[in-house]
Amino acid sequence: MLTVSCLLFCTEARSQTVVYSLTYSETRTSFQAHFANASPFPGRRSDDENLSMLRGTRKTEIYSLSLATGKSTLLFSDEGPHLQIMATGVVAGDGKAYIAAFWRERRASPTPTVTSEEAIYEISLDGSNHFRRIADAQPNQPPAILNPQSTRAAFEMFKDGKFVVSIYAVPEWKLLHTWDLAKLMQTHCPACNPMSYGWLADGKRLYTELGLAGEEDEDSSPASHRGTYFLSEDGADLGSVSPQTGALQLDGYIHPKYIESHFLGQLPDGSDLSSWTTQ
Protein backbone atom coordinates (compact mmCIF):
# COMPACT_ATOMS: atom_id res chain seq x y z
CA MET A 1 0.00 0.00 0.00
CA LEU A 2 0.96 3.63 -0.36
CA THR A 3 1.27 6.03 2.53
CA VAL A 4 -0.17 9.43 1.64
CA SER A 5 0.85 12.63 3.39
CA CYS A 6 -0.69 16.01 2.68
CA LEU A 7 1.11 19.33 3.26
CA LEU A 8 -0.43 22.73 2.58
CA PHE A 9 1.31 24.96 0.05
CA CYS A 10 -0.81 28.07 0.34
CA THR A 11 -4.29 29.50 0.24
CA GLU A 12 -5.08 32.09 -2.41
CA ALA A 13 -7.84 33.98 -0.62
CA ARG A 14 -8.86 36.13 -3.57
CA SER A 15 -9.56 33.18 -5.84
CA GLN A 16 -10.75 30.91 -3.02
CA THR A 17 -8.32 28.22 -4.14
CA VAL A 18 -6.15 26.00 -1.96
CA VAL A 19 -2.93 24.59 -3.41
CA TYR A 20 -1.66 21.46 -1.66
CA SER A 21 0.68 18.51 -2.20
CA LEU A 22 0.30 14.77 -1.74
CA THR A 23 3.40 12.64 -1.22
CA TYR A 24 3.11 8.89 -1.83
CA SER A 25 5.66 6.85 0.14
CA GLU A 26 6.65 3.32 -0.80
CA THR A 27 6.13 0.50 1.69
CA ARG A 28 8.09 -2.72 1.31
CA THR A 29 5.05 -4.38 -0.24
CA SER A 30 4.31 -1.58 -2.70
CA PHE A 31 8.00 -1.35 -3.67
CA GLN A 32 8.06 -5.05 -4.52
CA ALA A 33 4.86 -4.71 -6.52
CA HIS A 34 6.10 -1.58 -8.30
CA PHE A 35 9.30 -3.28 -9.47
CA ALA A 36 7.96 -6.82 -9.81
CA ASN A 37 9.09 -7.01 -13.44
CA ALA A 38 12.54 -5.49 -12.86
CA SER A 39 15.60 -7.69 -12.80
CA PRO A 40 17.09 -8.38 -9.33
CA PHE A 41 20.52 -7.63 -10.83
CA PRO A 42 21.35 -3.89 -11.20
CA GLY A 43 23.40 -4.49 -14.34
CA ARG A 44 20.40 -5.98 -16.09
CA ARG A 45 18.01 -3.16 -15.22
CA SER A 46 17.48 -0.05 -17.31
CA ASP A 47 18.90 3.28 -16.14
CA ASP A 48 15.38 4.51 -15.43
CA GLU A 49 14.63 1.47 -13.27
CA ASN A 50 17.84 1.93 -11.27
CA LEU A 51 17.17 5.64 -10.77
CA SER A 52 13.54 5.06 -9.77
CA MET A 53 14.67 2.62 -7.07
CA LEU A 54 16.74 5.40 -5.50
CA ARG A 55 13.76 7.69 -4.97
CA GLY A 56 12.89 8.46 -1.36
CA THR A 57 9.20 8.63 -2.31
CA ARG A 58 7.05 7.12 -5.04
CA LYS A 59 5.90 10.53 -6.25
CA THR A 60 4.68 13.93 -5.09
CA GLU A 61 1.71 15.57 -6.76
CA ILE A 62 0.49 19.16 -6.43
CA TYR A 63 -3.22 19.91 -6.73
CA SER A 64 -5.49 22.93 -6.59
CA LEU A 65 -8.81 22.70 -4.78
CA SER A 66 -11.65 25.08 -5.56
CA LEU A 67 -13.42 26.00 -2.34
CA ALA A 68 -16.44 27.05 -4.36
CA THR A 69 -16.95 23.79 -6.29
CA GLY A 70 -14.86 21.25 -4.36
CA LYS A 71 -13.09 20.23 -7.59
CA SER A 72 -9.43 19.15 -7.43
CA THR A 73 -7.10 19.65 -10.40
CA LEU A 74 -3.66 18.07 -10.84
CA LEU A 75 -1.12 20.86 -11.39
CA PHE A 76 2.23 19.05 -11.26
CA SER A 77 3.67 15.58 -10.67
CA ASP A 78 7.31 14.55 -10.21
CA GLU A 79 6.60 10.90 -11.06
CA GLY A 80 9.57 9.55 -12.98
CA PRO A 81 13.21 8.60 -12.43
CA HIS A 82 14.98 11.96 -12.38
CA LEU A 83 13.22 14.78 -10.45
CA GLN A 84 12.12 14.39 -6.82
CA ILE A 85 10.57 17.51 -5.29
CA MET A 86 10.18 18.27 -1.60
CA ALA A 87 6.70 18.40 -0.12
CA THR A 88 6.63 22.12 0.72
CA GLY A 89 7.32 25.31 -1.19
CA VAL A 90 5.83 28.66 -2.10
CA VAL A 91 3.39 29.57 -4.85
CA ALA A 92 3.58 32.80 -6.86
CA GLY A 93 0.59 34.59 -8.30
CA ASP A 94 1.64 33.78 -11.88
CA GLY A 95 1.11 30.05 -11.44
CA LYS A 96 4.68 29.16 -10.53
CA ALA A 97 5.97 27.34 -7.46
CA TYR A 98 9.49 27.53 -6.04
CA ILE A 99 10.67 24.42 -4.29
CA ALA A 100 13.78 22.41 -3.37
CA ALA A 101 14.21 19.24 -5.41
CA PHE A 102 16.72 16.50 -6.25
CA TRP A 103 17.79 15.69 -9.78
CA ARG A 104 19.27 12.23 -10.34
CA GLU A 105 20.99 10.96 -13.45
CA ARG A 106 23.49 8.35 -14.51
CA ARG A 107 26.78 9.61 -15.91
CA ALA A 108 29.17 7.40 -17.84
CA SER A 109 32.32 9.53 -17.53
CA PRO A 110 34.85 9.83 -16.12
CA THR A 111 33.55 6.72 -14.34
CA PRO A 112 30.01 5.27 -14.36
CA THR A 113 28.12 6.81 -11.44
CA VAL A 114 24.73 8.10 -10.34
CA THR A 115 24.62 11.72 -9.23
CA SER A 116 21.99 13.29 -6.96
CA GLU A 117 22.07 17.09 -6.84
CA GLU A 118 19.78 19.33 -4.79
CA ALA A 119 18.73 22.72 -6.16
CA ILE A 120 15.89 25.24 -6.15
CA TYR A 121 13.45 24.72 -9.02
CA GLU A 122 10.69 26.76 -10.56
CA ILE A 123 7.80 24.53 -11.56
CA SER A 124 4.77 25.46 -13.65
CA LEU A 125 1.40 24.81 -12.03
CA ASP A 126 -0.54 24.47 -15.28
CA GLY A 127 -0.46 20.69 -15.78
CA SER A 128 2.42 20.88 -18.26
CA ASN A 129 4.99 19.49 -15.77
CA HIS A 130 7.50 22.08 -16.99
CA PHE A 131 10.29 23.00 -14.59
CA ARG A 132 13.65 24.72 -14.55
CA ARG A 133 16.60 24.80 -12.19
CA ILE A 134 17.11 28.33 -10.89
CA ALA A 135 19.64 28.23 -8.03
CA ASP A 136 21.94 25.99 -6.04
CA ALA A 137 20.53 24.63 -2.79
CA GLN A 138 22.31 24.60 0.54
CA PRO A 139 22.19 21.62 2.94
CA ASN A 140 18.78 21.52 4.67
CA GLN A 141 17.59 24.30 2.36
CA PRO A 142 14.46 25.99 3.78
CA PRO A 143 11.59 27.06 1.51
CA ALA A 144 11.78 30.52 -0.02
CA ILE A 145 9.61 33.32 1.36
CA LEU A 146 8.04 35.39 -1.44
CA ASN A 147 6.88 38.96 -0.99
CA PRO A 148 3.17 39.60 -1.74
CA GLN A 149 4.02 40.93 -5.21
CA SER A 150 6.11 37.81 -6.10
CA THR A 151 9.02 40.07 -7.10
CA ARG A 152 11.41 39.17 -4.28
CA ALA A 153 12.32 35.92 -2.52
CA ALA A 154 14.11 35.61 0.81
CA PHE A 155 16.00 32.68 2.30
CA GLU A 156 17.16 32.67 5.91
CA MET A 157 19.63 29.96 6.90
CA PHE A 158 22.00 29.15 9.76
CA LYS A 159 25.33 28.82 7.97
CA ASP A 160 28.88 28.88 9.32
CA GLY A 161 27.62 30.05 12.72
CA LYS A 162 25.59 32.93 11.26
CA PHE A 163 21.95 33.58 10.43
CA VAL A 164 22.37 34.49 6.77
CA VAL A 165 19.61 36.11 4.70
CA SER A 166 19.72 36.07 0.89
CA ILE A 167 17.39 38.21 -1.25
CA TYR A 168 16.68 37.31 -4.88
CA ALA A 169 14.85 39.15 -7.66
CA VAL A 170 12.00 37.06 -9.09
CA PRO A 171 11.44 35.64 -11.69
CA GLU A 172 15.02 36.03 -12.96
CA TRP A 173 16.41 34.79 -9.62
CA LYS A 174 19.26 37.25 -9.54
CA LEU A 175 20.97 37.48 -6.15
CA LEU A 176 20.51 41.06 -4.89
CA HIS A 177 21.67 41.02 -1.28
CA THR A 178 23.27 38.69 1.25
CA TRP A 179 23.62 39.69 4.89
CA ASP A 180 23.46 38.22 8.37
CA LEU A 181 21.37 39.20 11.37
CA ALA A 182 24.36 39.60 13.71
CA LYS A 183 24.28 43.41 13.79
CA LEU A 184 20.53 43.56 14.50
CA MET A 185 20.80 40.88 17.19
CA GLN A 186 23.82 42.46 18.86
CA THR A 187 22.05 45.83 18.92
CA HIS A 188 18.72 44.67 20.33
CA CYS A 189 18.98 41.18 21.84
CA PRO A 190 22.41 39.49 21.90
CA ALA A 191 21.01 36.38 23.60
CA CYS A 192 18.19 35.98 21.07
CA ASN A 193 17.70 33.86 18.00
CA PRO A 194 15.42 34.65 15.04
CA MET A 195 12.13 32.82 15.62
CA SER A 196 10.28 33.79 12.43
CA TYR A 197 10.55 36.17 9.49
CA GLY A 198 8.65 37.32 6.42
CA TRP A 199 7.74 40.21 4.16
CA LEU A 200 5.56 43.19 4.95
CA ALA A 201 2.65 44.17 2.71
CA ASP A 202 4.67 46.70 0.69
CA GLY A 203 6.98 43.92 -0.53
CA LYS A 204 10.05 46.06 0.19
CA ARG A 205 10.56 45.46 3.91
CA LEU A 206 10.97 42.35 6.01
CA TYR A 207 10.32 41.52 9.65
CA THR A 208 11.99 39.09 12.02
CA GLU A 209 10.97 38.09 15.52
CA LEU A 210 13.85 37.79 17.98
CA GLY A 211 13.23 35.55 20.96
CA LEU A 212 14.91 33.53 23.67
CA ALA A 213 14.74 29.76 23.90
CA GLY A 214 15.05 27.22 26.71
CA GLU A 215 16.82 28.32 29.88
CA GLU A 216 17.63 31.64 28.22
CA ASP A 217 14.01 32.61 28.81
CA GLU A 218 15.07 33.70 32.27
CA ASP A 219 17.53 36.22 30.85
CA SER A 220 16.50 39.59 32.23
CA SER A 221 19.45 41.57 30.90
CA PRO A 222 18.40 45.13 30.02
CA ALA A 223 20.30 44.67 26.72
CA SER A 224 18.00 41.85 25.64
CA HIS A 225 14.90 43.30 24.02
CA ARG A 226 12.84 40.51 22.57
CA GLY A 227 10.41 41.55 19.88
CA THR A 228 9.79 41.96 16.17
CA TYR A 229 12.03 44.19 14.09
CA PHE A 230 11.73 45.63 10.59
CA LEU A 231 14.53 45.51 8.03
CA SER A 232 15.07 46.73 4.49
CA GLU A 233 15.87 44.15 1.84
CA ASP A 234 19.57 45.06 2.16
CA GLY A 235 19.50 44.40 5.93
CA ALA A 236 19.20 47.95 7.32
CA ASP A 237 17.53 48.24 10.75
CA LEU A 238 14.20 50.04 10.36
CA GLY A 239 12.91 49.88 13.94
CA SER A 240 10.57 47.58 15.81
CA VAL A 241 6.92 46.66 16.15
CA SER A 242 5.21 48.38 19.06
CA PRO A 243 4.84 45.93 21.99
CA GLN A 244 1.18 46.97 22.20
CA THR A 245 0.34 46.03 18.61
CA GLY A 246 -2.81 43.94 18.71
CA ALA A 247 -3.24 44.41 22.46
CA LEU A 248 -6.63 44.71 24.09
CA GLN A 249 -7.42 48.41 24.30
CA LEU A 250 -9.42 49.12 27.47
CA ASP A 251 -9.02 52.11 29.76
CA GLY A 252 -7.06 51.14 32.85
CA TYR A 253 -6.23 47.63 31.60
CA ILE A 254 -2.60 46.55 32.06
CA HIS A 255 -1.38 43.44 30.30
CA PRO A 256 0.20 40.89 32.69
CA LYS A 257 3.85 40.11 32.02
CA TYR A 258 3.07 36.45 31.38
CA ILE A 259 1.07 37.39 28.28
CA GLU A 260 3.36 37.97 25.30
CA SER A 261 2.65 39.03 21.73
CA HIS A 262 3.84 37.55 18.45
CA PHE A 263 3.82 39.46 15.17
CA LEU A 264 2.20 37.35 12.42
CA GLY A 265 2.57 39.67 9.43
CA GLN A 266 0.44 42.17 7.56
CA LEU A 267 -2.77 42.16 5.57
CA PRO A 268 -2.70 43.54 2.01
CA ASP A 269 -3.81 46.96 3.30
CA GLY A 270 -0.83 47.11 5.68
CA SER A 271 -2.75 46.29 8.86
CA ASP A 272 -0.63 44.41 11.40
CA LEU A 273 -1.58 40.96 12.63
CA SER A 274 -0.51 39.81 16.09
CA SER A 275 -1.34 37.03 18.52
CA TRP A 276 -1.24 37.09 22.30
CA THR A 277 -0.34 33.96 24.27
CA THR A 278 0.26 33.03 27.90
CA GLN A 279 3.54 31.42 28.84
Side chain identity at residue 100, one-letter code? A
**Is residue 130 located within the same domain as residue 80?**
yes
Domain end position, chosen among 108, 123, 143: 143
According to the model, what pLDDT value does residue 52 have?
84
According to the model, what pLDDT value does residue 175 have?
93
**Is residue 13 located within the same domain as residue 91?**
yes
**Is residue 183 located within the same domain as residue 206?**
yes
According to the model, what pLDDT value does residue 180 have?
93
Of 255, 188, 178, 267, the closest CA to residue 221 belongs to 188
**Is residue 56 located within the same domain as residue 93?**
yes
Which residues fall within 8 angstroms of residue 14, CB to CB, at 6 or more apart? none
How far apart, in whole angstroms, are the C-alpha atoms of residue 167 and residue 131? 21
**Is residue 125 located within the same domain as residue 232?**
no
**Is residue 128 located within the same domain as residue 193?**
no
- CB-based contacts of 219-228 (< 8 A; 24+ apart in sequence): 219/191, 221/191, 223/189, 223/190, 224/189, 224/190, 224/191, 224/192, 225/188, 225/189, 226/189, 226/192, 227/188, 227/189, 228/262, 228/263
Mean pLDDT of the chain: 81
- Where residue 243 falls among pLDDT bands split at 50, 70, 90? low
According to the model, what pLDDT value does residue 199 have?
94
**Is residue 181 located within the same domain as residue 248?**
yes
How far apart, in whole angstroms, are the C-alpha atoms of residue 274 and residue 262? 5
**Least confident among 10-24, 120-134, 136-150:** 10-24
Q: What's the structural domain count of the chain?
A: 2
Task: Report whether 209 contacts 277 (CB < 8 A).
Answer: no
Domain end position, chosen among 125, 143, 161: 143
Query: Is residue 255 over pLDDT 70?
Result: no
Q: What sign has the CA pseudo-torsion 158, 159, 160, 164? A: negative
Q: What percent of the chain has pLDDT over 70?
A: 78
Model confidence pLDDT, tens digit, residues 137-193: 877 778 889 999 999 999 988 888 889 999 999 988 899 999 999 889 999 988 888
Domain end position, chosen among 143, 168, 193: 143
**Is residue 169 located within the same domain as residue 274?**
yes
**Is residue 28 located within the same domain as residue 136?**
yes
- Concatenate the DSSP letters of all residues of 69-123 into one string: T--EEEEEE--SSSEEE-S--EE-TTSEEEEEEEEEEEE-SSS-EEEEEEEEEEE
For residue 27, the 8-state DSSP code is P
Query: Is residue 225 over pLDDT 60?
Result: yes
The predicted model scores a pTM of 0.74
**Is residue 153 located within the same domain as residue 70?**
no
Helix (H) or strand (E) holding 14: none
Model confidence pLDDT, tens digit, residues 25-55: 877 777 777 777 777 766 677 888 778 888 8
Domain that holds residue 262: 149-279
**Is residue 223 located within the same domain as residue 279?**
yes
**Is residue 271 located within the same domain as residue 153?**
yes
